[in-house]
Homo-oligomer: A and B are copies of this chain.
Amino acid sequence: MDAEKIEIKKKIEEFARKIYEEFEKGNPSFKFIIRGNLKYVEYDPTKDLIKLKKSYGYREFFNLGHTRKFTQTILIAALAKKLISENRTASLREVFYQLRHTIPIINEDTFYEQKESDSVIEDLERTLNIIREKIHIKADRRGYVYGNITMRDRSRGDEWNCSKLGMGGWGVPSTIEEIEILDINADFVLVVEKDALFERLIEERFPEKHKAILISAKGQASRGVRRLIHRLRYEHNLPVYVFTDGDPWGYYIYSVIKRGSMKLSHFSELLATPDVKFVGMTMDDVDEYDLKRVTIKLTARDEKRIKELMEYPWFKKNRNWQRQFNKMLNKKIKIEQDALAAKSLEFVAEKYLPEKLSNPDRLLS
């Protein structure tokens, strides 16, 4: 077991020992940081990150309103220790099934549904100040990597280069904590929202021609992908650009990669990458590349979401983003990244991206 794992196991044991000892004295309890929603998060403009306010809550064993959550937290902590000791990982769903049982005599279920165990896992993450991947509990996997990057899976000893896997690319697992990055021969990272664009750029040999690492987020980036982006930026000093649809959903994908999400705001500094830049699609692109005829009319849901985003502090204070949002609302349009195919299939790789990437004024941040 490596030093970090021993450290984390010790932290869980100390958490449990403290509670165990408190049983001697009376009412055992532990303190935890209340989870993020608009009320409990704050925007740090200096670091350009969403952060959690330090608002504390308590769980006491001898408090009827707390007993259930208290017991659930101990069950999750015990499983986490077991997972680390056995060097196994478990999905959120597996954790739920592992721990779900009926307690005899009181005839009460430990967990009724997965929502309950998910929320206790989040509490425990914040209580121990350890992201769930490091206590071997993992979210769903999603996303692919292509490009001249050599990786090694510490737990298995495998080594591979992500540019030698054909069109397929490497599937990003749900946790990348065991992945070492051995060697990178690239100048920047490009994260794309859609698999179709990922395949288009590979087919056009964009990564080879521009020395790029390509990541497909497949919609909202998974935790694995966000950790990978973070590490490529801060461990390997690569600039990162994000390329999404020109709609509020695409802009929020960018926002989460850059500034973290509200729910996970406690770990923004591990999961977010504040200095990523946005390469497209923008409303200015619609004019610049004469794409009006392939735009799509905003739905009522789009408009509502745009107005919400405009009010988030990190968008609110940014004149460039406000301009894009207002332009969308005025013209009542949005545009997909696939729409660049209206020019030609190779347009995105041969003209759009090279032009925008070489012109910092045209990137949003």
Interface residues of A (CB under 8 A from B): 88-91, 93-94, 97-98, 100-102, 138, 140-141, 144, 151-153, 155-156, 158-160, 163-174, 178-179, 195-196, 199-200, 203, 293-294, 336, 338-342, 344-346
Given contacts A164-B160, A294-B97, A338-B94, whether A174 and B195 have CB atoms under 8 Å apart is: yes
Instruction: Report chain B residues within 8 Å CB of A94.
Output: 196, 200, 338, 341, 345
In whole Å, how far is A75's beta carbon from the nearest beta carbon of chain B?
A: 14
Q: Are A199 and B141 closer than 8 Å at their CB atoms?
A: yes
Q: How far is the CA of A287 from the CA of B54 in the complex (A)?
A: 49
A-B contact list, 27 entries, CB within 8 Å: A88-B346, A89-B199, A90-B341, A90-B345, A91-B200, A91-B338, A93-B196, A94-B341, A97-B338, A97-B342, A100-B342, A102-B293, A141-B199, A151-B166, A153-B166, A156-B166, A156-B167, A165-B171, A166-B178, A167-B173, A167-B178, A168-B170, A168-B171, A168-B172, A174-B195, A174-B196, A174-B199
A170 close to B167 (CB less than 8 A) = no
Residue of B nearest to A138 (CB): B199
**Residue pair B178, A173 in contact (C-beta under 8 Å):** no
Assess whether A155 is in contact with B170, with CB atoms less than 8 Å apart.
Answer: no
Cα distance A141–B102 when bound, in Å? 41
Q: Is the CB of A88 within 8 A of B203?
A: yes
Q: Shortest distance in angstroms between A57's beta carbon and chain B's nearest beta carbon? A: 30
Asked if A169 contacts B166 (CB within 8 A), the reply is: no
Closest chain-B Cβ to A63's Cβ sits at a distance in Å of 29
Given contacts A88-B345, A101-B293, A166-B179, are A141 and B195 in contact (CB under 8 A)?
A: yes
B170–A199 CB distance below 8 A: no
Q: CA A141 – CA B98 in complex, angstroms?
A: 32
Whether B342 pairs with A98 at a CB distance below 8 angstroms is yes
The answer to whether B166 and A345 have CB atoms under 8 Å apart is: no
Q: Do the beta carbons of A294 and B153 come within 8 Å of each other?
A: no
A171 to B167, alpha carbons, bound, how many Å? Answer: 9
Residues of chain B contacted by A341 (CB below 8 angstroms): 90, 93-94, 97-98
Task: Chain B residues near A98: list those with CB within 8 A.
Answer: 341-342, 344-345
Q: Specify the chain B residue showing the minimal Cβ separation from A342.
A: B97
Chain B residues within an 8 Å CB radius of A164: 158-160
Q: Are B166 and A196 in contact (CB under 8 A)?
A: no
What are the 6 closest A-B residue pairs judged by CB atoms, nearest first?
A153-B166, A91-B196, A94-B341, A97-B341, A167-B173, A93-B338
Given known A-B contacts A94-B341, A294-B100, A345-B98, A153 and B167 have beta carbons under 8 A apart: yes
Residue ID in chain B nearest A101 by CB atoms: B293
Residues of the B chain whose Cβ atoms lie less than 8 Å from the Cβ of A168: 153, 170-173
